[in-house]
Structure 1
Amino acid sequence: MNRTLRYTGVALATVALLAGGSAVAMAAPQAVHASAPVVATAPAAATLTAKASATTVKAWQEFRISGAAKGIKAGTKVTVQQKQGKKWVSLPAQAPVNSKGSYAIRVKLGIKGVNQLRIAAGSTVSPVVKVTVR
């Protein structure tokens, strides 16, 4: 038993000398201390902004919602969502994010009153934009 431990120790020391010390680091990782802690940075969270071209429109009058998409690939479709009761419902209005990270969507609304709208791309959503339909 003692011979095995002795031979293993001699073998590790020999390998360490030949490899320039890297084998010791592999054989005994608890003995190796990093000079600076390694900090993993999380990817930036995707964000969407939204701004309506008008705050008050007539029923079925077209207006635009535009904004910027950060952390979202160009070509990704963004969709307009409308709050109906307690649910967010996706409308058929979509547009792709362009290469500069912006988008513009044409929207027509028929539900009179204050409409709460937001832009969605996957699980990323913009702040709510309110548009009144008269």
Structure 2
Amino acid sequence: MNRALRFAAVGVVAVSLLAGGSAAAFAAPKDLHSPAPIVATAPAAATLTAKASATTVNAWQEFRISGVAKGITAGTKVTVQQKQGVKWVSLPAQSPVNASGSYSVRVKLGLKGVNQLRIGAGSTVSPVVTVTVR
């Protein structure tokens, strides 16, 4: 009986050692048989630049806002937006992006004073351009 008890105790100790920390010593390394991880890269964010041809104009005098659209498909229309109070309002001034990624929009403003403008294409917007109308 003493002998059977010893074998049982040795068996319990061996199982607990294998189930615990020393089991990892007998296991294959995790990265030995797994494929290399695939890293997905996000597409570059779309950007717009904007520059006005004049910083001061008379009311209803035409000027241009031009710039470069990166990450935006050729033919996509860019729209002039004007800050009115706390909201940005799209004006009826649009132009398509050409094959080289540039655009040029003709603009006429009648709202006298300092006008904050930007170019928008979907959720992408340019930095603000300021034009004063006299």
TM-score (norm 1): 0.74
The whole-number CA distance in structure 1 between the counterparts of 2:97 and 2:81 is 16
Deviations 1:12-62 (A, max 9, x none): xxxxxxxxxxxxxxxxx987323x542211000000000000000000000
Alignment of 1:27-38 (within 5 A): 32-34=33-35, 36-38=36-38
1:39 corresponds to 2:39: yes
The whole-number CA distance in structure 2 between the counterparts of 1:72 and 1:41 is 18
The whole-number CA distance in structure 2 between the counterparts of 1:128 and 1:64 is 14
Question: Per the alignment, in what secondary structure is the counterpart of residue 88 of structure 1?
Answer: strand
The whole-number CA distance in structure 1 between the counterparts of 2:51 and 2:93 is 15
In the alignment, residue 38 of structure 1 is paired with which amino acid?
Answer: I
2:122 maps to which residue?
Answer: 122
1:107 corresponds to 2:107: yes
- Structure 1: 4+ residue segments shifted above 6 A: none
The whole-number CA distance in structure 1 between the counterparts of 2:79 and 2:38 is 39
Alignment of 1:43-82 (within 5 A): 43-82=43-82
The whole-number CA distance in structure 2 between the counterparts of 1:114 and 1:39 is 48
Consecutive unaligned residues in structure 1, runs of 5 or more:
1-28
Count residues with an aligned counterpart: 105
The whole-number CA distance in structure 2 between the counterparts of 1:125 and 1:117 is 10
For the pair shown, the structure with the greater C-alpha radius of gyration is: 2
Please give the root-mean-square deviation of Cα atoms over the aligned residues, in Å: 1.6
The whole-number CA distance in structure 1 between the counterparts of 2:43 and 2:33 is 29
